[in-house]
Structure 1
Amino acid sequence: MPKWLKISLKIIAGAVLLIVLVLVGATMYISFNKAKVLKMVNEQLDKSVDGTLVIGDMKPNFFRGFPDVSLTLQNVLIRDKQYDRHKHTLLNAKDFNVSINTMALFRGTIDINHIDISNAAIDLFTDSTGYSNTAVFKKDNKKVKDNPSESSSSTQLKKFTLSNVTFTVDNRQAYKLFKFSVNDLSGKMQYPDSGWRANFHLDVLAKSMAFNSKRGSFIKNQKLEGDFVAGYNEGSGKVNVSVQPLNIGETPFKINAVFATKDKPSANFDINIVADQILWRRASGLLAPNITEVLNRFNISKPMDVTCNLNGSFGGGDGGPKIYVTARVKDSKITIPGGELDNCSFNGIFTNNYVKDKGYGDDNSAIKLIGLKGSYNHLPFTIDTGSIINLVKPIATGNFKSNFPAADLNYFLEDNVAKFANGEADMKLRYTADIVDYKINKPVIRGAIVLRNTDIHYIPRNIKLTNSSISLNFVGDDLILSNIRLQSGRSIVNMNGRVNNFLNLYYNAPEKILLTWQIRSPQLYLGEFLGFLAERKQTPAIKSRANSGNVVDQLSTVLEKGKAEMHMQVAKVYYKKFLATDATADLLTTDNGIIIKNIGVKHAGGFLKMNGKMMQGKKLNNFAVNTVISNVNMREFFVAFNNFGLQDFTSENLKGFLSAKTSITGGITDAGNLVPNSINGNLDLSLRNAALIDFKPLVSVGKFAFPFRNLKNISIPKLDGHFLVKGDMITIKPLQVSSSVLNVDVEGVYGFTRGTDIALDIPLRNPGKDSLITDKEELAKKRFKGIVLHIRAHEEGGKMKIGWNKNHK
């Protein structure tokens, strides 16, 4: 062995031996002077304690703190002077290991380099008045500064270890409760001139992290594990902490925190948390129960990037902390109460301090979704900024835009109200809505909805429209409908409309909605709109949104209960054989019918005016109308109206021009046909230049009374009559018929199917030349000159019998 090596080994061995001897000596010193050393430790610690400090026992550990002397303090107890009142022990440690600088110990002072606490409980308690058991630590160091000889040199902790330690911060004044079960907290500290730096490993179970104990705990029962870097700057009084990553459960987080302690009764904190690609339910499960309960009503299918900033105080009474969360979501399915949003992307923000200086709570919270795009029931949409403000009474606002094929509305309406085909839809809306049970409720809308060149099947009335366009404009509280083109078969309608106070009535009083229409049409075929005569079909309810205040759910109710006032101008109106021109009308729809006002049409060379109403029924539809007919061609008029349901008296029996006033009621089928024998009312007729052709009752009478006269074509220059119609019976008021063949006074009842009983007074003289008599008095005298036949035509046994009228007076 070389000489230099031998010398080196001897030196090392001597040094080791010296150290061992020193440690043995220190250990023996402590062992033989246990009471003295224990007293020194108690005195050193008692200088900082204003209360009870108990150290049950002390044992030296030879190699544990090498090269320092390691002391194990057992059953260490620290309590403040008011313990008997609040029953919270500040420190209760079964094992409190302290490594003491050996050389300092021989100088008669205590310099602690390492503290190892295990099997302990630390409880920092503050009562409702603000008193804290940390008052056990003295805060007045003036005496020490004035008399330095009474104090040892500053103790600098080099290492620390906590294991199996329960750490609690219970602040009843600020409603804060932090409780951690520490499995392992170990680290090293350095002391540059600016303060201190520490590196430590943390392995704890968070049993409670309640910034407001009334609302519950964040990250409850979650394991926290990570390697921290911390530092304290004496100048700023701030503690900086960083960990990358901190595993909370199985999820890694990047965390940076700043705790401001200078001139503060308790630490203010600012914690920044970053989580990359975390699932929604995982993130919500880390928050306080009041927030988790809300968030779990929603879900986002794919992981998202989240940042969170917590800012507040561990001791203040502000109810914090201030929370600011951002999230980035991309191409995810979002589940919301009552539906799902597909292919969603957005940047989200949550804050519980929406209005500055109004506190940190649900009532001052807001959620913002920036650049939201996705689809709902196949309808693509974008919302530039959507907000939900005040989570106690939440209000949603946003700008909604969408453009899509009109047929995609069928997914949205779920085959209720209407079905669409062809064309496109465009929506640009600004909405404000309450949120009830986390669903959009009764939105107030501004903007426009436009449908272009689409086919619409309005299901409740079975009305089919083709190549139609609609523009709905929400202006203030009003709804303005413009540039509307509807086409059903050959009918084309151009419309503009308005509903005043629409948004206030839509949900609260749909029966008060009045839609005022201005309608123009080049041609209208009424038969294509007979669906309005049929009873409204009930559409199946959408169970998932029933009674939700949803705008779509309410649409069917509004269409059913709302009313429409229509002012129409139609160039040509067709109905079966009926053709009218230059038609005008004012119509008002009701819950179960239509009120008809000021209908005016040109027809059969004359003019018709009508007022009345039509009411829907389950078996038939009832109408009541007052009509004025001016100088229409009788034959065309009867053809157009299908002879008004008459069988024995038809257009083939008539010739001439008709003017009339009617006030009648009756029934009409869903197909638009008059119900036989349903007409009741009054009928005043005025005929000019008329002829009665082959009217069977008169022809039958002629065979009996005038076998040599032709009663198949009777010209009637003028005839005024009054009739009462009741079902299949027509009561003929006394009527004078002056014709080219004979004069007849008629009175009685004509029955279409039964009950005919007509009295006829027929002068036998031939009136063929009466038209040459211009003197009315002379004409009246000649009317009944000569023989007059008094004949009765009546039904008997189902057969018509004609004979002498024995009841004539």
Structure 2
Amino acid sequence: MPKWLKTTLKVAAALVGIIIILFIALAVYVNYNKQKVLTMITAELNKNLNGTLTIGSIDPTLFKGFPGVSVELKDVTMKDSRWAEHHHTLLSAKDFEVSVNASALMKGEVVINKVDIIDADIDLFTDSTGYSNTAIFKAKPKVEKDPKEKETSSSTQIKRFTLSKVNFKVDDRHAYKLFKFAINNVSGRMEYPNKGWNADIDLNTMVNSFSFNTKKGSFMKNKLLNGHFDVSYDYDSQVINVAPNKLSIGDDDFNIGAQFNLKAKETPFTINLKVNDILWTSAANLLAANITKSLKMFDLKKPIDVTCDLKGAFGAGGDPSIYVTAKVRDNTLRTQGGVIENCSFNGVFSNNYINGKGLSDENSVIKLYHFNGTYKDIPFTIDTALINNLNTPIATGVFRSRFPVTKLNPVIGDESLRFSKGIVDLKLAYKADIVNFKFTKPYVTGYVDIKNTDVTYLPRNLVFKNNSIALKFTDKDLYINNIRLQNGSSVVNMQGKVSNFLNLYYTNPEKILIVWQITSPEIHLGEFLGFLNSRGGGSSSGGGSSSSGKKVSGAKITHQLNTAFDKGQAELHLRVAKVYYKTFLATDATADILLADNAMKVRNVSLKSAGGSLNLSGLILQGPVNNFAVSTNVNHVNTSAFFASFNNFGLKDFTSNNLQGFLSARVDIKGGIKNTGDLVPKSIKGFAQVDFTEGALIKFAPIKSVGKFAFPFRDLDNITFGDLKARFDINGDKINIAPMQINSSVLNMDVEGVYSLSRGTNIALDIPLRNPKNDSKITDDAERQKKRMRGIVLHILATDGDDGKIKIKWNKNHKKTDGSDSDKKEDDSDKKVEEEQQSGGSTGDYNR
């Protein structure tokens, strides 16, 4: 060995020995002068504090930190000067170990090899006024430095550190922030390049609270964080960067990165998280309670991909900016309104919907892009769905779909409509309130087209074939266009409008009024007799109003739809080329009809039939018996055809076969009509005023019965007569015939009395025997009227017989005139005829 090397080693050994001796001597000195040293250190440190630092004991650890100087502090506490007011101790550590590099100390540098904090509580507290217990550290006075002056010392450096069983809390009541961590273990190594430092940190801690706003709740509450961080700090920018790395949060593995700016007073930060294959509920549970509550209105069966960006400031009030994305593919989505299968979309949550309006629930939004799925086997797409303002949530979007109309049947239920074929094509822009996170009262604009469909209206068992329907929703109104309905041989084309539709639909569906413009080449009314029926099924007849804030379930929608159909009103304006009802045919028919709850009002009805015209107005009230009231004006109709069209109005003895001529009349009647369209017996009441011209009675049995013995040589099978004016008052099965004069080609007669459809007929007939055949040649009306009742007059009474047939007999109670020869002759004639009858002559009878 060279001599110089031997000498060097000896010097080095001597120096080491001196250092060991000095270190031992220092340790021995400190050990025997603990209290004195502790008092000196505590007093020196307290000079720079606005409060107190206390150390229970200090012990040098000779070889634990060798060759550095290592000490162990027990029961260390730090309290600010206002501790008595708030009782929040900044630091309380049972065991605090520090190891310092001895050689660095000789150079004037403080290099801490290692710091161990065990069983400690760190509480950074800020009260509501903004005062913080970190004010214990006095601010260093600013001293202007000479630019020529060189730095004589460097900043303190820490090489390694560990924290075990440490409760760390930041309680800022001024900014409503609360961060609480139960640190199981944190260990790190640090390096110091020229412009900053780098740290490798292993973390294992429980998050008890991570609240940027205590009013809204905590992120990652009660979640265990476990992972590794690569952290760096740059002195110039004063920015801490956390490189993206794996971090376990609870049971899910995230990739997390962050950045903290220490240069700014409020310490702004950015935290980025990314996770693959996390359940929707697990992701929602990591966010603050107010956001979690909103997101839990949905649930997804399969895991999804999620990212989350948080931007905020630790020293500032309010929430951080939150931006969450989710990627969903072929999943099952559960909502308050039902289950959506085959669901795919890209989702976004942000609490900064409109820049400048703050980071709050009011300015929050959930966006669903390219939303595809099937609801109850109905496929649909939504380009963009939005739910904004989480305090009073509003959902908006554009809903598109095309599908067989039969898929609507399970959606609308089995109480209103049933479709059997056809295609639905729809595009609806909707806006819906969300109360208690349940969709309610959606308002829509757009269109629904249904083509080539067969539909059954179940409550009244009406079937419509080969129909088309086009619905157009505006902001307020509903337009129903291009409707083609076919029921049997009836074809109806309709255009409709409902004003204020959606508002009434959700609040008072029974107040809905739909205005229809209806045209048709032909309608067979018998095919629509189902509207006379009361509703079938078990539909409720309640009002159907919905309270704000309640969920609109499928049953609720069906109930409102049924209420709208059955209780709502419809105003119909009809223009029909041909109308058929049994044997009745009308042309050029127009009508205004109002369909209300169990009622139908008919106004401005005009039609042509039997060579004339008819005007009508009326009312039908539905029930077990459908009550009606009708006011009709008939103008110059062919009497025979008219009677035949209406089945002789229920008369059996006076039918279309007995009449010829033209009828004008005014009829006001009320009564009952069965669901089959037939009149209810004995229900008709009212009157009819008749003006009959160019008339003829063909083989009318009552007249022929009299003529058998009174006018054996006259043509009673074809009796023509001039203008006939009459009034009939109808009361059930009784028809009261007002005094009426009949002037015919066979005979004249005055008629008055009651005709009964059952029993109670009592008709008085005054019939002069003279032949009135030539009376039509008399031009003087007064003379013709004076002559019509001259000569022998038969006073006959038509009444009920015991066998149910009408019997003809003499009217003994007829009125007689005084002092007239003709009257005397008539009386004698009457007696003569009556005597002949009593001696065996018959007045005749006929079946009713």
TM-score by length of 1: 0.92
Indicate the RMSD between aligned Cα atoms, in angstroms: 3.1
Quote how far apart the aligned CAs of 1:41 are. Answer: 4.8
Deviation at 1:216, TM superposition (A): 2.0
- Could you tell me how far apart the structure 2 residues matched to 1:304 and 1:524 are? 59
Is the contact between residue 507 and residue 545 of structure 2 (CA under 8 Å) also seen in structure 1? no
One-letter amino acid matched to 2:72: T
**Aligned partner of residue 362 in structure 1, secondary structure:** coil
Matches within 5 A, 1:752-771: 752-771=757-776
Q: After the TM superposition, which of the residue ranges 552-561 and 440-449 deviates more from structure 2? A: 552-561
1:612 and 2:618 are equivalent in the alignment = yes
In structure 2, what is the equivalent of residue 244 of structure 1? 245
Q: What is residue 221 of structure 1 aligned with on the other side?
A: 222
Q: Which moved more, 1:511-520 or 1:673-682?
A: 511-520
1:303 to partner: Cα distance = 1.0
Alignment match, 1:745: 750
Moved more, 137-146 or 127-136: 137-146
Classify the secondary structure of the residue corresponding to 1:157: strand
Distance 1:111 1:580 in 2: 112
CA distance in 2 between partners of 1:27 and 1:316 (Å): 47
Contact 2:653 2:701 in 1 (8 A): yes
Equivalence for 1:572: 578
In structure 2, the residue matched to 1:428 is: 427
Instruction: Tell me which moved more, 719-728 or 593-602.
Output: 593-602
764 and 540 in structure 1: CA distance in 2 versus 1, 3 angstrom threshold: closer
Partner of 1:361: 360
Structure 2 counterpart of 1:282, one-letter code: S
Q: 2:791 aligns with which of 766, 771, 786?
A: 786
SS in 2 for 1:120: strand
Q: Distance between the aligned counterparts of 2:324 and 2:108, measured in 1? A: 55
Partner residue in 1 for 2:674:
669
Once the two structures are TM-superposed, the CA of residue 145 in structure 1 deviates from its matched residue by 7.6
**Is the Cα contact below 8 Å between 1:631 and 1:658 reproduced in 2?**
yes
Compute the displacement of 1:97 (Å).
0.9
Letter of the structure 1 residue corresponding to residue 576 of structure 2:
V
Residue 423 of structure 1 aligns to a residue in which SS? strand
Partner of 1:634: 639
Which amino acid letter does the alignment assign opposite residue 325 of structure 2?
A: T
Distance 2:752 2:282 in 1: 94
Q: 1:542 to 1:732 in 2, by over 3 A?
A: closer
SS in 2 for 1:422: strand
Cα distance between partner residues in 2 of 1:99 and 1:41: 16
1:57 paired to 2:62: no
CA distance in structure 1 between the aligned counterparts of 2:60 and 2:288, rounded to whole angstroms: 46
Q: Do the aligned residues in 1 keep the contact of 2:197 with 2:232 (CA within 8 Å)?
A: yes
State the AA in 2 paired with 1:486: L
2:724 is equivalent to residue 719 of structure 1 = yes
Instruction: Check whether the contact 1:26–1:69 (CA below 8 A) recurs between aligned residues.
Output: no
Query: Residues 535, 541 of structure 1: CA spacing in aligned structure 2 closer, same or farther, 3 A cutoff?
Result: closer
Q: Could you tell me how far 1:328 is from its partner in structure 2? A: 1.1
Which residue matches 1:138? Answer: 138
Which one-letter code corresponds to 2:634 in the other structure?
I
Report the Cα offset of residue 591 of structure 1: 2.4
Deviation per residue, 1:480-515 (Å, 9 max, x gap): 222221111111111222334434444345455433
Report the equivalent of 1:698.
703
3-state SS of the aligned residue for 1:648?
coil
Instruction: In structure 2, give the amino acid aligned to 1:220.
Output: K
Tell me, yes or no, if the aligned pair for 2:110 and 2:155 is still in contact at 8 Å.
Answer: no
Q: Equivalent residue of 1:554, what SS? A: helix
1:465 maps to 2:470:
no
Q: CA deviation at 1:780?
A: 2.5
Does residue 71 (structure 1) correspond to residue 76 (structure 2)? The answer is: no
**1:128 counterpart = 2:128:** yes
Q: CA 1:549 to 1:275, structure 2 compared with 1: closer, same or farther past 3 Å?
A: closer
- Counterpart CA distance in 2 for 1:561 and 1:492 is 25
Q: Does 1:652 align with 2:652?
A: no
Instruction: Please report how far the alpha carbon of residue 227 of structure 1 lies from its aligned counterpart in structure 2 after TM superposition.
Output: 0.4
Question: What's the counterpart of residue 528 of structure 2?
Answer: 529
* Partner amino acid, structure 2, of 1:754: R
What fraction of aligned residue pairs are identical, expressed as a percent?
52
CA deviation profile, 1:95-122 (whole Å, cap 9, x unmatched): 0011121335678986422100011100
Report what 2:587 is aligned to.
Answer: 581
Match of 1:171 in 2: 172
Q: Is the 8 A contact 1:624 1:663 kept in 2?
A: yes
Partners of 2:26 and 2:531 lie apart in 1 by 108
Alignment of 1:458-497 (within 5 A): 458-497=457-496
Question: What's the offset of the Cα at 1:83?
Answer: 0.8
Counterpart for residue 284 of structure 1 = 284
Where does residue 841 of structure 2 map in the other structure?
none
Q: Once structures 1 and 2 are overlaid, which stretch shifts more, 193-202 or 500-509?
A: 500-509
Query: How far apart are residue 689 of structure 1 and its match?
Result: 3.1
Task: Answer yes or no: is the 8 Å Cα contact 1:76–1:91 preserved in 2.
Answer: yes
Gaps of 5+ in 1: none
Post-superposition offset of 1:667? 1.5
Q: Any idea what SS the aligned residue of 2:660 has?
A: strand
Residue aligned with 2:565, SS: helix
SS at match of 2:254: strand
Q: Do 1:227 and 1:243's aligned partners in 2 also have CA atoms closer than 8 Å?
A: no
Is the 1:582–1:602 Cα contact (8 Å) retained in structure 2? Answer: yes
Give the conservation status (yes or no) of the 8 Å contact 1:124–1:134: yes
Q: Is the CA contact (8 Å cut-off) linking 1:598 and 1:610 kept in structure 2?
A: yes
After superposition, the Cα gap between the structure-2 partners of 1:476 and 1:83, relative to the gap in structure 1 and judged at 3 Å, is closer
With over 3 angstroms needed to count, the CA separation of the structure-2 counterparts of 1:87 and 1:31, relative to structure 1, is same
Question: Deviations 1:558-611 (Å, cap 9, x if unpaired)?
Answer: 333433222222121111111112222222222222222222222222222212
Per-residue deviation, 1:657: 2.7
Shift of 1:152: 7.0
Distance between the aligned counterparts of 1:511 and 1:467, measured in 2? 29
- Give the letter aligned to residue 784 of structure 2: L
Distance across 2 between alignment mates of 1:745 and 1:689? 19
Q: One-letter code of the match for 1:454? A: T
Of residues 546, 554, 562, the one that matches 1:556 is 562
Residue in 2 that maps onto 1:599:
605
Identify which range, 544-553 or 584-593, moves more after superposition: 544-553
Name the SS for the 1:357 alignment partner. coil
* Deviation digits for residues 150-174 of structure 1 (CA, Å, limit 9, x no counterpart): 9975320110100000001001111
**Matched residue type, 1:174:** A
2:219 corresponds to which letter in structure 1? F
In 1: Cα distance, 2:176 partner to 2:232 partner: 29
Structure 2: any 5+ residue segments left out of the alignment?
Answer: 816-848
How much does 1:753 deviate? 0.3
Deviation at 1:280, TM superposition (A): 1.0
Aligned length: 798
Amino acid at match of 1:298: F
Residue 686 of structure 1, aligned match among 683, 687, 691: 691
| TM-aligned CA distance change 1:465 to 1:22, over 3 Å | farther
Amino acid at match of 1:119: D
| Cα distance, 1:670 vs structure 2 | 1.4
Instruction: Map 1:143-542 onto structure 2 (within 5 A).
Output: 153-264=154-265, 266-317=266-317, 319-537=318-536, 540=539
Cα distance in structure 2, aligned partners of 1:283 and 1:476: 37
The 1:90–1:798 alpha-carbon spacing in structure 2 relative to 1, beyond 3 Å, is farther
**Match 1:590 to one of 585, 596, 599:** 596
TM-score, length-normalised on structure 2? 0.88
Do 1:34 and 1:58's aligned partners in 2 also have CA atoms closer than 8 Å? yes
Report deviation, 1:138.
2.3
Residues 312 and 108 from structure 1, CA distance in 2 versus in 1: closer, same or farther, beyond 3 angstroms?
closer
Query: 1: distance between equivalents of 2:151 and 2:381?
Result: 74
Matched-pair contact (CA < 8 Å) for 1:597–1:612? yes
1:195 and 1:43 mapped to 2: Cα distance? Answer: 32
Residues of 2 paired with 1:542 and 1:431: CA distance? 29
Partner of 1:776: 781
Q: Is the 8 A contact 1:754 1:798 kept in 2?
A: no
Work out the CA distance in 2 between the residues paired with 1:405 and 1:373: 17
Per the TM alignment, residue 450 of structure 1 is displaced from its structure 2 partner at its CA by 1.0
Asked if structure 1 preserves the Cα contact closer than 8 Å seen for 2:297 and 2:438, the reply is no
Deviation at 1:529, TM superposition (A): 1.2
